[in-house]
């Protein structure tokens, strides 16, 4: 049994699978068996597809597994061939109207979040001489003048759930259009270290899908580009002479990093983690760029960890 495309709602699919809608008709969601932050599976509505939708795994998960994974999440019956469900036209029209309403609501919510994120960004100020500079110094990182204020800022009172905290705030920009889309926040303690442990110390707000933290401006990207997961990873790479660099903000964003027009070669700053999520994301991204006839190189520290670990080891060895 197959549902007509008119019965499918890309926003409902994204919600059911814990992902995000990109554009008007595509969702980026965690692949089957992947972490909640993963965005390696692309789903989009296609009226001529046998199922009424199509899937593509950037992590090379089996097609049938991805197809059935989506069907199960949205409550469609198990795959039984090419037979289509017969549905009353009035029901199709009702669901189409409901889908358009849901889309308009979702787009308004995205706009509202983006506006709030940019208000936080605009309220933050130059990070030089603040906890941000102390935090970076603690990680062996310099704060270049070209990043201060333009890419990184300090928010002494930054919203964080039900409280406020001092935070390093970074600006997300669309990888293609350069338009500001959201912010990345790192909560800081008064001694210039992360206020919380692990992932709890970082939050994103506004639009992050298809967006990056441009540690080097578009004008610096003429032939090649390097991307890494974290801001600190990207800044460390710059100190080691790898430029231009953009930070994606999360491992899932590496998986779906778009092929950027005019960029012929991509360097991916890989890192070692216990789950293998980074390696899977690097593979997904690299494969897509290779398919687009781009050169791809992956750089990983020999001793494990990430580029910031390399810089910190160098700083420690010089003391």
101 inside domain:
no
Statement: residue 3 has pLDDT above 80: no
Please say whether the beta carbons of 41 and 30 come within 8 A.
yes
179 inside domain:
yes
- For the stretch 153-171, pLDDT in tens is 999 999 998 999 999 999 9
94 inside domain:
no
| Three-state DSSP class for residue 111 | helix
- What strand order describes the sheet that includes 26-29? 20-22, 26-29, 41-45, 53-57
Boundary (domain end) residue, out of 72, 87, 102: 87
Please say whether the beta carbons of 121 and 115 come within 8 A.
no
Same structural domain for residues 134 and 62? Answer: no
Q: CA-CA distance, 242 to 245, in Å (whole number)?
A: 7
Alpha-carbon torsion (108, 109, 113, 114), positive or negative: negative
Can you give the residue range of the structural domain that contains 148?
A: 125-318
Same structural domain for residues 133 and 214? Answer: yes
- For the stretch 184-198, pLDDT in tens is 999 999 999 999 988
Same structural domain for residues 217 and 82? Answer: no
18 inside domain:
yes
Same structural domain for residues 151 and 75? Answer: no
Q: CA-CA distance, 191 to 171, in Å (whole number)?
A: 24
Same structural domain for residues 83 and 129? Answer: no
Q: What's the confidence (pLDDT) of residue 77?
A: 58
Same structural domain for residues 35 and 144? Answer: no
- For the stretch 244-266, pLDDT in tens is 999 999 888 898 888 999 999 99
Q: CA-CA distance, 248 to 245, in Å (whole number)?
A: 10
Same structural domain for residues 150 and 70? Answer: no
Q: CA-CA distance, 286 to 284, in Å (whole number)?
A: 6
Mean pLDDT (the chain, rounded):
85
Statement: residue 7 has pLDDT above 60: no
Same structural domain for residues 35 and 130? Answer: no
For 173, 219, 225, 242, the CA distances from 262, given in Å and listed in that order, are 17, 12, 10, 19
Mean pLDDT, to the nearest integer, of 207-223?
91
Same structural domain for residues 154 and 278? Answer: yes
Q: CA-CA distance, 168 to 312, in Å (whole number)?
A: 20
- DSSP state at residue 195: S
Same structural domain for residues 242 and 295? Answer: yes
110 inside domain:
no
Give the model's confidence band at 215: pLDDT under 50 very low, under 70 low, under 90 confident, else very high: very high
Q: What's the confidence (pLDDT) of residue 4?
A: 45
Give the model's confidence band at 78: pLDDT under 50 very low, under 70 low, under 90 confident, else very high: low
Q: CA-CA distance, 227 to 269, in Å (whole number)?
A: 6
Number of domains in the chain: 2
108 inside domain:
no
119 inside domain:
no
Q: DSSP per residue over 119-188, as a string?
A: HHHHH-B--TTSHHHHHHHHTT----TTTBTTTEEEEEEEEETTEEEEEEEEEEEETTT--EEEEEEEEB
């Amino acid at each position: 049994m197959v549902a007509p495309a008119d019965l499918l709602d890309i926003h409902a699919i994204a919600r059911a699978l814990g992902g995000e809608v990109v554009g008007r008709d595509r969702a980026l969601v965690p692949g089957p068996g992947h972490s909640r932050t993963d965005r390696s599976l692309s789903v989009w509505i296609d009226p001529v597809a046998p199922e009424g939708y199509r899937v593509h795994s950037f992590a090379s998960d089996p097609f049938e597994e991805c197809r059935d994974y989506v069907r199960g999440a949205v409550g469609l019956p198990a795959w039984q061939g090419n037979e289509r469900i017969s549905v009353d036209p009035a029901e199709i029209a009702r669901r189409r109207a409901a889908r358009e309403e849901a889309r308009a609501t979702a787009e308004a919510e995205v706009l509202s979040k983006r506006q709030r994120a940019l208000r936080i960004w605009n309220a933050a100020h130059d990070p030089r001489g603040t906890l941000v500079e102390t935090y970076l110094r603690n990680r062996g990182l310099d704060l270049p003048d070209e990043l201060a204020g333009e890419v990184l800022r300090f928010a002494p009172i930054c919203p964080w759930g039900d409280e406020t905290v001092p935070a390093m705030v970074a600006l997300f920009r669309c990888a293609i259009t350069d338009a500001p889309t959201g912010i990345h926040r790192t909560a800081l303690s008064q001694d210039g270290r992360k206020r919380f442990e692990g992932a709890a110390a970082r939050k994103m707000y506004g639009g992050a899908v298809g967006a990056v933290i441009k540690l080097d401006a578009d004008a610096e990207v003429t032939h090649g580009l390097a991307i890494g997961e974290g801001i600190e990873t990207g800044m460390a790479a710059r100190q080691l002479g790898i430029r231009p660099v953009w930070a994606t903000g999360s491992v899932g964003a590496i998986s779906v990093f778009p092929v950027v027009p005019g960029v012929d070669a991509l360097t991916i700053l890989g890192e070692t983690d216990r789950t293998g999520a980074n390696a899977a994301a690097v593979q997904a991204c690299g494969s897509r760029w290779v398919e687009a006839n781009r050169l791809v190189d992956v750089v990983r520290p020999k001793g494990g960890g990430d580029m910031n670990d390399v810089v910190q080891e160098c700083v420690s060895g010089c003391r």
